[in-house]
Structure 1
Amino acid sequence: MKTKTIYRLLLAAGAVVTVSMFSCNKDLDKTNPNSVGLDQSFKTAADLQTAVNAAYSVIKSSSLVGREWFFVHDLRSDDVSTGGSQLEAPRAQILNGGTQPSNPVMNSVWNALYTAIHRANTAILKGPGVTDNPALRDRIVGEAKFLRGWAYFDLVSMWGKVPLYTLPVQSFSDSKPRSSVDSIYAQIIQDLKDAAGNLPGKSGYDAANKGRVTNAAANAMLGRVYMQKGDYASAKAALLLIPTTGADGYSLTARWLDNFEEEHEFNSESILEVIFVDKKTANFNWGGQSVGDVLNGNTELTTVRNQEYCPVAWRNLIPSDKLINEFENSGFGATKTDPRFSWTVYQSGDKYNNGAETLTDGDQNGNGSTFHGTAKKISWRKFMLMYKMSKSAMGFYPGGNNQRLIRYADVLLMLAECENELGNSAAAVGYLNQVRDRADVLMPHYPTAQYPTGTKDQVTKAIMHERSVELADEEVRNIDIMRWRIKGYYPSIAPEPLSYFQKNRDELLPIPQAELDNNPKVTGDQNPGY
């Protein structure tokens, strides 16, 4: 007899979990005759599609893009402030820089990212054995490699060294130690390159397959990854592969708000979206995923973002004072007031519900803001459904508004940064001005009185400004902050964005306590300062 802890892999959950601790002998260590092993599964392209659908499913679940993902990204940025005491303690902990290894919001994102990786690994492993439909097989493996690369980029950028799994975990002995940041980036880059080579353009998918990743999405992510590594030449090369003409081409929409409203999903600017469905009910997929989600990646899911940030709902996070004062305003030294301000945020006096209702201070639960020295109630407008819904309908309403993960405006701004870092400041300014030339934005070209562009540092400051106002609350600001911090741009070009920041601690989140407890190859290997 001996005492040991038995761990078992749940393929559906995609994680190693403790089952029980008990005394046993060898006679009890038997294979479950009712289980189906990997060697018996995923024999056809249709089977492979089930595996990759399951990876998509966890990405749109409440543990990731449906809820906790946007919280973790936003709370690590200077785009947001607390809406008031209604912000739950674990979220306030991240916002205020006091994140603990046991933080459940952070842990939820970590676990879900590894779940998505496990499911993608299954499709990638089994792909070579599928022969019934080689074209579909190759596309599915390309999708899986993109999703694995996307997940690992979130992990490495927020936690640094993490365990690197490229095969499905089938037993406790498969546990991995933390890999080097360089090796993780090398895997991400290879995955995204492979994906770009096997994925079609957007015209290669019919209406039933909208939302699947494309070669443009792979190249855009590849550009983002290279930039985070400081390899701007490779980033530029990848970004320039994104087509701008023909059936697979991308361009800026004439109307800026088309990027954040349900009626204009999958428009000319949208490179990657996570699909959500309005179920016309108050039901939300709390707790991540149901059994149905695991078995069917097409299960309809809603996003609770419309509830969490909505001015007349929970209003847990609001735009930060720093952000609302970043927009150019003719009353404070600019030639023209940037129209993107009134499309990014609501403030008291604004109309909503197709113009039928007026937002008041009393409607907006919690904290106020300070706009150029004046106290105001200001809330998020991006991705909210108030533009077409009444206050009474917004009591609790999870929405179906797709989350746009990558859009062409971001590609142009990434190219601007690449050109500036490569010594081509004039080309960088040209890309910035393309974004400002959108038909309904038409902001004055750089250089302006507030943003001269005579030096590389001045262009960098203009890039920082333009990314802030164009991409506010699109979950890229914290990634920008980390990249610019590494380059030493704080405080030489701009002040450190996070007031709580402590060097050699707050660059990264803590490794979750559950990982330290359950993975013996990680035990004791915590990030600095925690």
Structure 2
Amino acid sequence: MKSTYKKSIVLLSIGAFILAGSSCKKYLDIENPSTISQEVAFESTSYANTALIGVYNLLPGDNGLTKEGTIWSLSTDDFKTSGSYSPEDRRGISMHLASSANGELLGAFNQLYTGIERANICIKGINNSPIYVNAGASKATMGKYLGEAMTLRALFYFTLVRNWGSVVAQWEPSLDVKELDAPVTAGTAILDRLLADLKLAEDLVPWRSESGYGSTRWTKGAVKALRARIALFRGGYMMDKESHTMVRSADYKKYYQIALDECKDIMAKRGEHNLNPVYENVFKSLHTSTRFDPTYELMFEVGAFGAGSRTDTKLGYYDGMRFNASSRFGGTGGGVTAIATYFYEFDQLGDCRRDVTIGSYEIDANSQKVMNTLNNMTDAKFRRSWTNIAGTTQTLAVNWPVLRFADVLLMFAEADNELNSGPSAAAQAALLEVRSRAFVGFESRIPIMPTDYAGFFDAIVKERLLEFGGEAVRKYDLIRWNIMGAKFAEVRIKLRQLMSGEGAYVNVPKYVYAKPAVYNVIPSQQEFNTLDTYGGSPSVTLFQPGLGTSGAPTGYTTKNWRASINEEYITGKSSGFATYFESNRAEVFPFHNDVRLYNTKIVQNYGY
């Protein structure tokens, strides 16, 4: 499966010895099965590597980093969670009013801190290791492990900060900390520390081609990309806990400069990372040990393995294209659905990303493809049919994409535009690279390149929506730009126009008539265009009024298209679009009740 993790997990059977002697306090409590001391653990590169894999091992699982992608990042103007509102489950998160008893907020929160504790132990152990301190032959190897541990800690903390704002910061193993309860540290201060740490880490970790690693362990390019992403978030708007308002630092441009510089370094090493020429192949590569990513666009991904709740993911099952349980592929839930307007944000004919990203069809009991209704399309970047795992299992060994080279190009373009009050030729070229890949064969349909600051910023906002749908990017972009409320209001206007067949949606049909067609598991654009809809290709029938009647022609079944959108879908208190969102509150989550019981100095976030 994923070779790095397969080999390393065997070593973990020795015991998670990085925890030896650790008595973590309160919500940092974790198991201690080891009989090997921390001192011994870091006296050899082999043991140190095993200890480090124990940190990586906190990335996957039901409470791993995919929680951010499948639940915490929903909903925005790309995807939402299906089902009806409940404040104590994933629907409460998707509709932006989760309660402090919401179980989806606790397990992963605890696991992130467990990862931080393990990383802290590794960092201390390597820094004190004689084979690192004495600058012997193993110093470079131990330094690489130190850089990886620092980067993992940065990823865990960054995930906490961008979801809760200000959180408890602990930079040493729990045994070394005397204070049992600690107040939160401002998110801005934590991110500043992470940026400094990553500057050190990137000098310790080699480039991909020098490391022997793939994309499930940190290499220099990925560390730099994470530093750029954190810098842009730090340079954006963040929740100030005291005033409970979104605030941007006066010196925000210095963070944009960090992002620009890091992205330039990566872009100068195209032999290390580059755009995959085929957009779809980026995501196919997440599903199998056969790689379709020869350019290493996937810079860092969470490895999934073992078919268990602690080491695998439910990508492709819960979050992915919907398959009937009786199909030859096995069944999936399709629990993440596309906002109805998202389909029409993409170009009608040219943009290949739409049919990779959005499951406009599902697979029926006869293993054929059949149109979904407009309000029930799914995330399609994760597909059971791209794995070799059939049957009823919910764990499909699908990796989670964390950083891609496409993001490097767009971060560079955004930072350049911000620093220069307008895009340079290099920024325009970076944006054009991403667009050109999306419009292969339809280059004449690529949008006109903006030359002014505002126009280029708007183009970046739109491009990131199209490029990263379903990858837990959009929500945090809207937060750092402080436009989430405005964007949601815009989407509601569009949804009403769509429902009524007005404005840009005047030619969108009220009903579509479809019949099952062969599912060929071929490139997504071709698969979409061979759907059987009455009147011709869906690239035509979904963009013209059609018959306008609920009665289907002989042999076809009516699929509600515009007719599937109603006021409940738009503003309903049960299943509406981001119904309970409130600016200067919902940008961060509440702390779970148990967390505040563990640490009495944590003050609940405003509005919860």
Q: TM-score, normalised by structure 2?
A: 0.69
C-alpha change, 1:388 and 1:41, in structure 2 (3 Å) is closer
Instruction: Look up the SS of the partner of 1:54 in the other structure.
Output: helix
Aligned partner of 2:202 among 164, 184, 196:
196
Map Cα deviations across residues 294-315 of structure 1 (whole Å, 9 max, x no partner). xxxxxxx332111102311111
Structure 2 counterpart of 1:379 = 378
Correspondence list, 1:401-412, <5 A: 401-412=398-409
C-alpha change, 1:385 and 1:226, in structure 2 (3 Å) is same
C-alpha change, 1:441 and 1:264, in structure 2 (3 Å) is farther
C-alpha distance in structure 2 between counterparts of 1:226 and 1:18, whole Å: 28
Structure 2 counterpart of 1:77 = 76
Structure 2 counterpart of 1:529 = 607
C-alpha change, 1:394 and 1:485, in structure 2 (3 Å) is farther
Aligned partner of 1:478 among 468, 475, 479:
475
Q: Does 1:264 align with 2:291?
A: yes
C-alpha change, 1:492 and 1:435, in structure 2 (3 Å) is same
Gaps of at least 5 residues in structure 1 are: 1-8, 21-31, 289-300, 330-335, 371-376
Correspondence list, 1:224-303, <5 A: 224-230=229-235, 231-245=255-269, 247=271, 249-261=272-284, 262=288, 263-264=290-291, 267-268=294-295, 269-277=297-305, 284-286=307-309, 288=310, 301-303=311-313
Structure 2 counterpart of 1:314 = 333
C-alpha change, 1:56 and 1:454, in structure 2 (3 Å) is same
Instruction: Look up the SS of the partner of 1:260 in the other structure.
Output: helix
Aligned partner of 1:341 among 337, 351, 354:
354
**AA aligned opposite 1:343:** V
Instruction: Look up the SS of the partner of 1:306 in the other structure.
Output: coil
Q: How far apart are residue 343 of structure 1 and its match?
A: 1.7
Structure 2 counterpart of 1:142 = 147
C-alpha distance in structure 2 between counterparts of 1:186 and 1:454, whole Å: 32
C-alpha distance in structure 2 between counterparts of 1:56 and 1:492, whole Å: 36
Instruction: Look up the SS of the partner of 1:145 in the other structure.
Output: helix
Q: Does 1:360 align with 2:370?
A: yes
> Conserved in 2, the CA contact under 8 Å of 1:436 and 1:442?
no
Map Cα deviations across residues 139-158 of structure 1 (whole Å, 9 max, x no partner). 11100000011111111111
C-alpha distance in structure 2 between counterparts of 1:210 and 1:455, whole Å: 36
Aligned partner of 1:179 among 185, 190, 200:
185
Map Cα deviations across residues 477-521 of structure 1 (whole Å, 9 max, x no partner). 1110111117x9946996699553212211211122222111133
**AA aligned opposite 1:425:** P
Q: How far apart are residue 337 of structure 1 and its match?
A: 3.3
> Conserved in 1, the CA contact under 8 Å of 2:102 and 2:592?
yes
Aligned partner of 1:16 among 1, 17, 25:
25
Q: How far apart are residue 194 of structure 1 and its match?
A: 1.2
Gaps of at least 5 residues in structure 2 are: 1-17, 132-137, 236-254, 324-331, 493-576
Q: How far apart are residue 402 of structure 1 and its match?
A: 2.1
Q: Does 1:100 align with 2:128?
A: no
Root-mean-square deviation over aligned CA pairs: 3.4
> Conserved in 1, the CA contact under 8 Å of 2:283 and 2:381?
yes
**AA aligned opposite 1:474:** E
Q: Does 1:505 align with 2:567?
A: no
Map Cα deviations across residues 195-234 of structure 1 (whole Å, 9 max, x no partner). 1110011112336x65210111111011111111222122
Map Cα deviations across residues 322-359 of structure 1 (whole Å, 9 max, x no partner). 32221122xxxxxx4322111212223x7899xx9422
C-alpha change, 1:181 and 1:239, in structure 2 (3 Å) is same
Q: Does 1:416 align with 2:427?
A: no
Structure 2 counterpart of 1:333 = none
Q: How far apart are residue 164 of structure 1 and its match?
A: 0.7
C-alpha distance in structure 2 between counterparts of 1:507 and 1:490, whole Å: 13
Structure 2 counterpart of 1:434 = 433
Map Cα deviations across residues 118-165 of structure 1 (whole Å, 9 max, x no partner). 111001111122233211110111000000111111111111111111
C-alpha distance in structure 2 between counterparts of 1:204 and 1:492, whole Å: 45
Instruction: Look up the SS of the partner of 2:141 in the other structure.
Output: helix
Structure 2 counterpart of 1:323 = 342
> Conserved in 1, the CA contact under 8 Å of 2:351 and 2:439?
no
Instruction: Look up the SS of the partner of 2:370 in the other structure.
Output: coil
Map Cα deviations across residues 90-112 of structure 1 (whole Å, 9 max, x no partner). 10110111211221111122111
Q: Does 1:457 align with 2:454?
A: yes
C-alpha change, 1:98 and 1:494, in structure 2 (3 Å) is closer
**AA aligned opposite 2:354:** F
Instruction: Look up the SS of the partner of 1:240 in the other structure.
Output: helix
> Conserved in 2, the CA contact under 8 Å of 1:86 and 1:314?
no
> Conserved in 1, the CA contact under 8 Å of 2:112 and 2:160?
yes
C-alpha distance in structure 2 between counterparts of 1:15 and 1:79, whole Å: 39
C-alpha distance in structure 2 between counterparts of 1:187 and 1:210, whole Å: 25
Structure 2 counterpart of 1:6 = none
Q: Does 1:166 align with 2:165?
A: no
> Conserved in 2, the CA contact under 8 Å of 1:318 and 1:380?
yes
> Conserved in 1, the CA contact under 8 Å of 2:100 and 2:591?
yes
C-alpha distance in structure 1 between counterparts of 2:20 and 2:84, whole Å: 39
> Conserved in 2, the CA contact under 8 Å of 1:196 and 1:215?
yes
> Conserved in 2, the CA contact under 8 Å of 1:159 and 1:510?
yes
C-alpha change, 1:163 and 1:134, in structure 2 (3 Å) is same
Structure 2 counterpart of 1:61 = 61
Number of paired residues?
462
